[in-house]
Structure 1
Amino acid sequence: MQRRWVVSPDYRTAIEAIQQARVGQDLSQQALATRLKKPRSFINKIENLERRLDILEFIAIAKALGLDPRDLIDRVTKALPDSFDL
């Protein structure tokens, strides 16, 4: 059963912005997962909205992408509408 917050349009937009950061570096899910010392399914489930990303995981993903977490949050923020639902 998917929860509303996992599949909300705004959450989907946020995850898509993170996915675009990965793809923009021509980095596979496997390569990112390897950097994080996680299985590929960890990234796959996040990007397919099967699990919610927490703040510590967000920071780890940003760093694994070679990004300052503040820069990645700026990308996500810019992708979201001015008013979004939690």
Structure 2
Amino acid sequence: MPGHGRRRARIAFSDAAAKQLENLTSEAEIHALDRALVVISVDPDVGDPIPGDTTGPQLRQYADEIEAVRVLYFVTALRTVVVVAYIEV
């Protein structure tokens, strides 16, 4: 459709990240994480690449110092899904 931007990537969570998500209790933490996930879903390349093994998907890190959030994630080959591996709020 004309006038519409790129589609946002869908967010999925690894088992470890899902468990971390369950432990978030404050509204401020949940809000901060939501904001970070929106940024990542709109532009999956926003995070900095983490050096390491090149055989799998490139692990990236997105950190927002203002919201005090750090998310480690990778993007699937078709760039339609962002898999969150680790959350720090």
TM-score, reference length from structure 2: 0.32
Which structure's residues are more often strand, by fraction?
Answer: 2
Flag the structure with more relative contact order, 1 or 2, with Cα contacts below 8 A and sequence separation at least 6: 1
Which structure's residues are more often helix, by fraction?
Answer: 1
TM-score, reference length from structure 1: 0.32
